[in-house]
Amino acid sequence: MEKGELNWAVIGCGVIANEMEKLRKEWGLKCPNELW
């Protein structure tokens, strides 16, 4: 794997994790412990 590809993978995972964290905060009270 090229270094650049690895960097993009790390960035992509970070962005996805960030979005998931936002969804947890938004939906945590509506769907407690069901999805997470």
How far apart, in whole angstroms, are the C-alpha atoms of residue 14 and residue 26? 19
- pLDDT interval class at 1 (50, 70, 90): low
What is each CA distance from 31 to 15, 19, 20, 21, 28, in whole angstroms? Answer: 23, 17, 14, 14, 5
- For all residues of the chain together, what is the average pLDDT? 79
Residue of 20, 19, 14 whose CA lies nearest to 35: 20
Per residue in 4-16, pLDDT (tens digit) is 888 888 888 899 9
AA identity, residue 2: E
35 Cβ partners below 8 Å, 6+ apart? 27
Q: Which residue has the tokens 């992509």?
A: 12
